[in-house]
Structure 1
Amino acid sequence: MRSARHDRRSFMLSAASLATTLGLLSQARAEEAGGLRLGPPQPFSFEALVTLARARAAAPYEAPPRPAPELVQAIDYDAHGKLRFRPEHALWGREGSVYPVTFMHLGRYFTKSVRMHALEGGEAREVLYSPDYFTIDGDSPAARLPAGTPAFAGFWLRESRRLGEWSGREPWVTFLGASYFRTVGELGQVGLSARGIALDVAAAEPEEFPDFTAFWISPAARESDPVTVLALLEGPSLAGAYRFVIRRDGGVVMDVDKHLFLRRDIEQLGIAPLTSMFWYGEYPGSHAHDWRPEVHDSDGLAIWTGAGEHIWRPANNPPRITTSSFLDDAPRGFGLSQRDRNYDHYLDGVDYHRRPSCWIEPLESWGRGMVQLVEIPTDDEIYDNIVAFWRPEAPARAGDALRFRYRMHWLAEEPYFPADLARAVATRLGRGGEPGKVRQEGLLKFVVEFDGPILKSIPWGVRPTVVATASRGRVSLQRAEPIWHTPRWRAEFDLAAEGSEPIDLRLFMELDGKPLTETWLYQWHPEVLG
């Protein structure tokens, strides 16, 4: 099973007819909204959204309609790229929020319409679709959509209009496709995505992709103020009410508050899911057909356990779908990270070295459960094949009402990492044994590079102890040494093991009985090297 990088989403709520007087009111307000057509004001709040989601979950699920499916399917990748939103129609493009909002059009990969609302002063006004908002050529399939077709698929938050011309710059937040969203992070480049929920990823039942079917967006008066986005989630198994409080502060920080109402039992409920791509890294694999040294949006999973241990698990492109579970109680955080920031390690023009890391910080105790990492085989960089999420220990049952609050840090590095530990920054594999001696057949050497200020405190001539273990096989030649001309140290060991089943490895360095590094975990698939 393979996850496409861009899923699809849609939903159309029942449209309200406008009385003549309300239509005049909408037109009067339209100029204030930068030329958008807005519906009449209606009272609305997050509490009202929670009530709405609870009511939806109590009713039978209705599959969202897909407007004009044949025409929408004809809007392929190239045709969709030409449907650019005209900046003069942006919500808050001239006044109001400092962050303008533009909208995305339906297309082959985003086939379901999503309702959009501006929310100010406790009143919501729907943004009514018009083809005039987009650059639609006469020969575009979008030009043949029937009049009145609701054709919004998602939206972009744009950079502050007080910092100059915003329309030519990349959006800093995007909500588009199922419950997917992503941001540019701290280094100005998009990469991995997040989702509102993950249901049955690599489980016995087919994976389900609920949709954000409606959004309510509140303005920010200053750059330091947050943009608040409310979202309604709907799917066959559940409904949900979401509040995103989003700040643009160096990187992007989101506070997420979500209420979930379950229609039926769910085998695998994934909270705060992150989705990314890992084709190959610096360690060997089946990628000799590509010229680049590395290709990935994220190179590993970081975890800060409830017991205080910092764990780094490098990502894999495994030979088969693999799920790894990390049991925990009240985790302090986890995330998918891009730690390798050296352009020379990618040699590509798509800025893999600037892809953001995303850290999930629970804002309350999540109790017992596990961080799960799902790795899916891929033969190209166009597919997201890495998923990480929190799975509660308690079963997810029909009728459950659940609430989760967490903070998402879209930054260059994981926040809160302690200064007295070094990070694992590279994992290398090679032939085992020692130079100048007969090499044992099948012996493999693992080399882990660590970096961090704490390594400078190691006295000259002193070598830290390497503590390495394996779930099976024999570990030998454990040693540490500085990497000359750099501040880094390497820890290495040899592994002798038979068979093709995966082997779980664990390593850290210590000095005088005290850890110097985080804990490196790795799952080795012997068959990858044949």
Structure 2
Amino acid sequence: MNTAAGSAACPTRRAVLAGAVGSAAAFLPAIARAAEPGGANPATTLPGAGAPFEANTLLDIARARAASAYVAPKTDDVPAVLKGLSRDAYEAIHPVPGRAVWAGRDFGYEIEPLLRGSIFDTPVSLFVVENGLVQPIPYDKDSLIAANIALPDLTADTAFSGFRLRARFGDGGAVSNFALFQGASFFRLVAEGQDFGINARALALRPADSRGEEFPLFRALIIEAPAPGQPIIVHALVESESAAAAFRLTLTPGKEASVAGIDGTVFARAELDHIGLGGMQGSYLFGALDRQKVDDLRAAAFSVEGLAIRNGSGEPIWRPVHNPEALQVSAFLDRGPKGFGLMQRARAYADFEDDRRHWEQRPSLWIEPQDDWSEGAVTLLEIPSDSELNENVFAYWRPKAKLAKGGEMRFVCRQHWSKGWPDPLPPDLARVTDSRAGRGSSGNRRLFAVDFEGDGLARPEEIEIALSASTGTITRQDRFHYPERRTLRVLFELDPGSERASELRLGLRRGQERASETWLYRWTP
């Protein structure tokens, strides 16, 4: 990661935004010009119909905008018929079959532009690039099916809030959901057959900072026509009061994991001392660690089970998330992280018993930096929530260095949106497969059970348990070996006394060697 040097303050919080799901408009052969306000400087203006598109086109526009006064998008012009739609009514709008962008072409992808409406009021200019030339995507209300809604006439530059991308995941067959770009700078991918879950964020600024979070917004999304069977490239222009940024995303659909290669450059309008890179967020309502106050027939409800980290020294960390009574902020200081991500390790229907949402079908998201991310912290925010729709778990990398006004910072990473556990572990290390908690022997004591699974646990007599609590007392510790499941369960009781929080740390060792990933958890009443 290339950046101007500096220092940073400690991490804080963020606001909760709803996830993005939407409807679609269709592509017609007509050409429309998508004018974007960018001030007097023509270098800040988005390309018009027939303009050439080159590798540095969006970079140059973002750089020029960062050097100019910020022009906020107009958001109060959404027609009332769309603005007043309920979420269900908005999501029910869908394209006429065969009218999506590239429908009937041999690209293996179809684009469904998403209307502005309901909670999505920010206009986003949409373009395709074919043969090196830009064409704005026009709006045609006759290409949409919207039951009991009289869709208004709109212009191409005010009609859309993002797009859904559908892909063919293998030879033959129909296209299905692959990617979604909508809301602030949020985007999602899935592997074949999955439901949308975790939201990624192209850029975060001051998440939950006492000064207030600043939400960079998609201003333009440009999709290159791919060769058949090849990845698809999406270019994104992102902007806010303090920064402008350009992103190049190379998206590859997969049966077990879809991959996004991300090359981003941030341009600072003002000094940036709290930047969030690789941001991702998901929902966690309750699970086996914290269901004592839950009256719900389901076994669990979450799209994110925990945060996985492979730090710069190679230590693998597993931090289950939870739904706290008060805001929780955790910072894992590091240098040169090898990867981190929000994981959905629970993969069976029985883990949730939810016949509507099927949380077991949501992806895990693992990020691998592809350049030097230097010093900083993987930061985890856990926000109290009373709804499974709130994306109340947020993780990101916070660089230690500030980015000075007028400075530029480039970063490169790879995202894995997976059905499995994409966070890699050496084969001799055991992985945490379950974490549970319940009432202890008396008072406010809590009993914990952590299951480790791996081939290296075949000889449990060689395994040592390393367990500690930052406050309170560990009053009990037992182990149970289940060879048929390759599992070692560690059972322990915490007596917190009068303390209101305790950082728990648990790992398995074989002599001086690590035998498992490290389990971390913050207990609070």
Q: Do they superpose with TM above 0.5?
A: yes
Matched residue, 1:483: 482
SS of equivalent to 1:43: coil
Does the 8 A contact of 2:93 with 2:145 survive in 1? yes
202 and 500 in structure 1: CA distance in 2 versus 1, 3 angstrom threshold:
farther
Q: State how far apart, in whole Å, the 1-side matches of 2:497 and 2:403 are.
A: 40
Of the candidates 144, 151, 154, which is equivalent to residue 152 of structure 2? 144
Q: State how far apart, in whole Å, the 2-side matches of 1:55 and 1:360 are.
A: 29
Deviates further, 146-155 or 359-368:
146-155
Q: State how far apart, in whole Å, the 2-side matches of 1:68 and 1:430 are.
A: 50
Of the candidates 362, 372, 378, which is equivalent to residue 355 of structure 1? 362
The structure with the largest helix share of the pair is: 1
Q: State how far apart, in whole Å, the 1-side matches of 2:500 and 2:407 are.
A: 38
Matched residue, 1:249: 254
165 and 103 in structure 1: CA distance in 2 versus 1, 3 angstrom threshold:
farther
Higher RCO structure, 1 or 2 (CA under 8 Å, sep 6+): 2
CA deviation digits over 1:391-418, x for unaligned, max 9? 0011233222111100000012124321
Shift of 1:365: 1.0
Unaligned runs of 5+ in 1: 10-32, 433-438
1:192 aligns with 2:198: yes
Q: State how far apart, in whole Å, the 1-side matches of 2:423 and 2:19 are.
A: 28
Q: State how far apart, in whole Å, the 2-side matches of 1:378 and 1:339 are.
A: 21
Shift of 1:331: 0.3
Of the candidates 153, 156, 167, which is equivalent to residue 159 of structure 1? 167
Q: State how far apart, in whole Å, the 2-side matches of 1:355 and 1:508 are.
A: 28
Q: State how far apart, in whole Å, the 2-side matches of 1:378 and 1:161 are.
A: 35
SS of equivalent to 1:205: coil
Matched residue, 2:340: 334
84 and 165 in structure 1: CA distance in 2 versus 1, 3 angstrom threshold:
farther
Deviates further, 296-305 or 477-486:
477-486
Of the candidates 58, 63, 66, which is equivalent to residue 57 of structure 1? 66
Q: State how far apart, in whole Å, the 1-side matches of 2:443 and 2:329 are.
A: 30
1:4 aligns with 2:11: no
Q: Percent identity?
A: 33
Does the 8 A contact of 2:279 with 2:397 survive in 1? yes
SS of equivalent to 2:262: strand
Shift of 1:487: 2.4
Deviates further, 423-432 or 439-448:
439-448
430 and 6 in structure 1: CA distance in 2 versus 1, 3 angstrom threshold:
closer
Matched residue, 1:116: 126
1:130 aligns with 2:140: yes
Matched residue, 1:240: 245
Amino acid at match of 1:237: S
1:83 aligns with 2:93: yes
Q: State how far apart, in whole Å, the 2-side matches of 1:245 and 1:136 are.
A: 32
Deviates further, 105-114 or 153-162:
153-162
Shift of 1:116: 1.1
Matched residue, 2:321: 315
CA deviation digits over 1:249-276, x for unaligned, max 9? 3221010001101112334210010011
Matched residue, 2:415: 408
Does the 8 A contact of 1:44 with 1:124 survive in 2? yes
Q: State how far apart, in whole Å, the 1-side matches of 2:340 and 2:154 are.
A: 46
CA deviation digits over 1:125-171, x for unaligned, max 9? 1112221221145x415x234567731121122122985563xx641
Amino acid at match of 1:50: L
Of the candidates 106, 116, 130, which is equivalent to residue 106 of structure 1? 116
Of the candidates 443, 448, 453, which is equivalent to residue 451 of structure 1? 453
Matched residue, 1:380: 387
1:218 aligns with 2:218: no
Matched residue, 1:472: 471
369 and 305 in structure 1: CA distance in 2 versus 1, 3 angstrom threshold:
same
Does the 8 A contact of 1:154 with 1:176 survive in 2? yes
Shift of 1:248: 1.2
Matched residue, 1:436: none
CA deviation digits over 1:69-128, x for unaligned, max 9? 534322322331232122322222112522121211111111122111111232111112
SS of equivalent to 2:485: coil
Matched residue, 2:50: 41
Does the 8 A contact of 1:7 with 1:178 survive in 2? no
SS of equivalent to 1:178: coil
Of the candidates 199, 222, 227, which is equivalent to residue 232 of structure 2? 227
487 and 361 in structure 1: CA distance in 2 versus 1, 3 angstrom threshold:
same
CA deviation digits over 1:255-308, x for unaligned, max 9? 000110111233421001001111111123454222211110011000001001
Does the 8 A contact of 1:46 with 1:243 survive in 2? no
Matched residue, 1:497: 496
Q: State how far apart, in whole Å, the 2-side matches of 1:284 and 1:136 are.
A: 42
Q: State how far apart, in whole Å, the 2-side matches of 1:165 and 1:94 are.
A: 13
484 and 418 in structure 1: CA distance in 2 versus 1, 3 angstrom threshold:
closer
34 and 55 in structure 1: CA distance in 2 versus 1, 3 angstrom threshold:
closer
Shift of 1:518: 0.3
Amino acid at match of 1:91: V
Q: State how far apart, in whole Å, the 2-side matches of 1:187 and 1:471 are.
A: 43
Q: State how far apart, in whole Å, the 2-side matches of 1:170 and 1:275 are.
A: 23
SS of equivalent to 1:260: strand
1:516 aligns with 2:524: no
Matched residue, 2:45: none
Does the 8 A contact of 1:240 with 1:261 survive in 2? yes
Shift of 1:230: 0.5
Matched residue, 1:30: none
Matched residue, 1:398: 405
Q: State how far apart, in whole Å, the 2-side matches of 1:323 and 1:8 are.
A: 28
Does the 8 A contact of 1:34 with 1:88 survive in 2? no
CA deviation digits over 1:189-231, x for unaligned, max 9? 22111011111212112222211111111122232x1100001
1:425 aligns with 2:425: no
Matched residue, 1:370: 377
Greater Cα radius of gyration, structure 1 or 2? 1
147 and 122 in structure 1: CA distance in 2 versus 1, 3 angstrom threshold:
closer
Does the 8 A contact of 1:181 with 1:194 survive in 2? yes
Amino acid at match of 2:403: A
Q: State how far apart, in whole Å, the 1-side matches of 2:297 and 2:479 are.
A: 32
Shift of 1:443: 3.4
SS of equivalent to 1:347: coil
Amino acid at match of 2:87: Y
163 and 38 in structure 1: CA distance in 2 versus 1, 3 angstrom threshold:
farther
Does the 8 A contact of 2:78 with 2:117 survive in 1? no
CA deviation digits over 1:426-475, x for unaligned, max 9? 1112344xxxxxx454433221111122223x26xx26211001111222
SS of equivalent to 1:491: strand
Shift of 1:329: 0.4
Compute the TM-score of the two structures, normalised by the length of structure 2. Answer: 0.88
Q: State how far apart, in whole Å, the 2-side matches of 1:238 and 1:451 are.
A: 45
Q: State how far apart, in whole Å, the 2-side matches of 1:310 and 1:194 are.
A: 22
Unaligned runs of 5+ in 2: 1-13, 33-48
CA deviation digits over 1:24-66, x for unaligned, max 9? xxxxxxxxx9634334311112311101001011111111012
SS of equivalent to 1:249: coil
Q: State how far apart, in whole Å, the 1-side matches of 2:443 and 2:56 are.
A: 65
